[in-house]
Structure 1
Amino acid sequence: MISSLELRHIIETAFLPTHCVCIVDSSNSLVIQLINPTTEKEELTVTGIDPRSLASSRDIARFVAEVKEEMRARAQLPDKLYRRA
């Protein structure tokens, strides 16, 4: 299994140039905050991620791809229809 510190580093660098803050909360779940580097506004927060579900490079790549797709989908919707996190 990948250590929490290494997993955080991998996830945070996977979202560059978007600023990503990855923390482990009190329930040992990951919380990921994605912040637009230009506007410094939070784009998305993902909570409740079980680190055990990210045990391989494929798991991590799939997770990152899903979150990036969610960010693209949110960016295409007008603010009136969808409130960004």
Structure 2
Amino acid sequence: MFLSALELRKIIESSFLPERCECTLSPDLMMTVKVYADGQTDHLDLLVTGIDASGLNGCREINDLIAQLRARQHHVEVEPHSMLGKAL
């Protein structure tokens, strides 16, 4: 990864604003992303676990991941060759 875990988390979490997003990254670079339905409850709108963050080596990969997460949040089909394909 070319970014620190903190920087990567901030990019992903801020990309879902104004929705509340929580991104966690384990020491082995496995990521979990949670997007909450509203700011008042803990009801999840999206939960994706097991994302391999070791492949996020540039802006394109990060943007692709965010696009795939948003598509999944809005129930849009994701390309079968996507980075998240194995994690989902």
Whole-Å separation in 2 of the counterparts to 1:53 and 1:43: 25
The 4+ residue runs of structure 1 with deviation greater than 2 A are: 25-28, 37-40
Residue 4 of structure 1 corresponds to 5
Deviation at residue 19 of structure 1 after TM alignment: 0.7
Superposition pairs for residues 3-82 of structure 1, below 5 Å? Answer: 3-25=4-26, 27-37=28-38, 40=41, 41-73=43-75
TM-score normalised by structure 1 residue count: 0.76
Question: Any idea what the Cα deviations from partners look like across 1:12-39, whole Å, max 9, x if unmatched?
Answer: 0011111110112364311111102256
The structure richer in helix per residue is: 1
Whole-Å separation in 2 of the counterparts to 1:13 and 1:31: 15
SS in structure 2 opposite 1:55? Answer: coil
SS in structure 1 opposite 2:29? Answer: coil
Whole-Å separation in 2 of the counterparts to 1:26 and 1:2: 14
Unaligned runs of 5+ in 2: 77-88
**Highest Rg: 1 or 2?**
1
SS in structure 1 opposite 2:17? Answer: coil
TM-score normalised by structure 2 residue count: 0.73
Aligned residues: 74
Unaligned runs of 5+ in 1: 75-85
- Quote the RMSD (CA, aligned, Å): 1.8
